[in-house]
Amino acid sequence: MLGVRGALRSEIDLRSFTLTRPDRYFDQVMQTGNGEHITLERFNRDYLRIADTGFQNPSGSFDYRVLPATYNTVLANKLVLLPPDEINRLIRDLGGSRRLEKPNVMLGFAHTLDGSAQWRRGMVLAADCNIYRQVFKPMPGDDCA
């Protein structure tokens, strides 16, 4: 029988191993649950657009602009630096009429992380799909693709 100390150590070791070598668990984890089931090889090829079929080149890199999730994250980090007047000017220049009423474009719109698109109504850049498509790259489930 494994004692508490041994069980905790095993869990910590497993967590550490999973974090340091995610390639060994990618397929197992990404084949379960909701959403798209995908292998590391297909993810690298179709989403990251790199030749590495697994994790043979750990020092390799990918262009963040080809993967919508990373592109949108970098863009959101840039948008957060703009004052409300500049966000409003961007919306106006893209043909929109909504205005940012909060001090920051990334505040106050995500009330839950439940996987639904309810957040879109509260985010000034996503409430109008036409504006959203001009600013962000489409992602599965964003209802504006």
Q: What is the pLDDT of residues 114-128, one digit of tens each?
A: 555 555 566 888 888
Domain that holds residue 106: 65-135
56 and 74 share a domain?
no
91 and 122 share a domain?
yes
pLDDT at 14 over 70: no
110 and 124 share a domain?
yes
pLDDT at 113: 56
Q: Which residues contact 40 (CB under 8 A, 6 or more apart)?
A: 23, 26, 27, 30, 53, 54, 55
Would 140 be classed as within a structural domain? no
Would 22 be classed as within a structural domain? yes
69 and 49 share a domain?
no
Gap between the Cα atoms of 67 and 138, Å rounded: 10
Would 141 be classed as within a structural domain? no
Would 92 be classed as within a structural domain? yes
Its sign, for the CA torsion 49, 57, 30, 118, is: negative
Q: What is the pLDDT of residues 76-116, one digit of tens each?
A: 999 999 999 999 999 999 999 999 988 888 766 655 555 55
Q: Which of 35 and 56 is assigned the larger pLDDT?
A: 56
Would 143 be classed as within a structural domain? no
pTM, entire model: 0.70
48 and 78 share a domain?
no
User: Among 23, 43, 62, where does a domain finish?
Assistant: 62
82 and 41 share a domain?
no
Question: Domain total for the chain?
Answer: 2
Gap between the Cα atoms of 90 and 4, Å rounded: 56
Q: What is the pLDDT of residues 42-75, one digit of tens each?
A: 999 998 999 998 888 888 888 999 999 899 999 9
